[in-house]
Amino acid sequence: MKIEHRMEQPMRNLFENITEIKSQIEQAGGATLLLDFDGVLSAIAPTPDEAFISEENKALLKACAERFPVAVITGRELSEIKKKMKVENLLYIASHGLEWEEDGKDHAKTVPKETMEAINLAKEKIKPLLPRYPGMIFEDKSFMFAAHYRIMDPALIDAFVKEVNSILEPIVKQYNLRLDHNLMTFELRPEIDWDKGDSVKFAEEHLSKKTGKKFMPIYIGDGLTDEDAFAVLKEKGISIRVGEDRKSVAKWYMKDQKEVALFLKWLLSLKQ
């Protein structure tokens, strides 16, 4: 599904309207916290390997998990996000919803064989670009792959973007795959009826069953793939984007990733 959400009203600054957020949480009897990893719990890093959760954010998240339901929803592989986080008692939903850990057990959706063959074909066509474009980083994942160019020489970027599009777009059309281009990263993955919006719904259902309560869902994201999650919570949740973007459907925004810790501290100050 191609993201085609439309913003209907301007985003509002989260902390300038924090009393409204507090009122929504109190009316629901508490909060369920759903967060992306890159750009939210971790600052955007030059390379995927360099991304990490700070000790402060890790401690805050552990404290949050002791108070209310928490889920991390990410495009990273399940094994990788658990290794980077090292925080227990969370619901981990990885690979844009294709993998998840539920009650200590790992699960994965079934991807058609022909879809994986098409993605592997695309991998073999993209990999030869590595020696020609210094600074390109190829990230091989279980169900998908990403090509990053954040540390590439700016003089090479236009040619790189054009060549990647020329290689991948025909494959995307022929095999019905999903290509996202955001934050100086191309990501090719299966086009299945599941995205971060569906992951939010799954997390809400799972966590409400586990706790026996249905709290106010709060989702914090920072990029294009988070728009599906923001859209799902449009009428019945709190959607927060890290960084203001007039094209986003998120209702609230934080100025930058550093404000995530401030918001977690504020959440912990509430009675739940």
CATH code of the region 113-190: 3.30.70.1020
Give 246-272 pLDDT, tens digit per residue: 889 999 999 999 999 999 999 999 976
pTM of the model: 0.86
* 1 confidence band (pLDDT: 50, 70, 90): very low
Q: Which amino acid is at 2?
A: K
Same fold, 12-106+193-269 and 113-190: no
| Per-position b or e across 179-203, b if 16+ CB within 10 A of its CB | bbeeeebbbbbbbbebbbbbbbebb
Sign for the CA dihedral angle at 55, 35, 82, 86 comes to positive
Each domain of the chain, given as residue ranges in start order, spans 12-106+193-269, 113-190
Q: What is the pLDDT of residue 5?
A: 55
CATH of 12-106+193-269, one of 3.40.50.1000, 3.40.50.150, 3.30.70.20, 3.20.20.10: 3.40.50.1000
**For residues 233 and 217, what is the distance between their CA atoms, to the nearest angstrom?**
8
End-to-end CA distance of the chain: 37
Q: What is the pLDDT of residue 192?
A: 79
* 121 confidence band (pLDDT: 50, 70, 90): very high
Q: What is the pLDDT of residue 194?
A: 81
Q: What is the pLDDT of residue 112?
A: 92
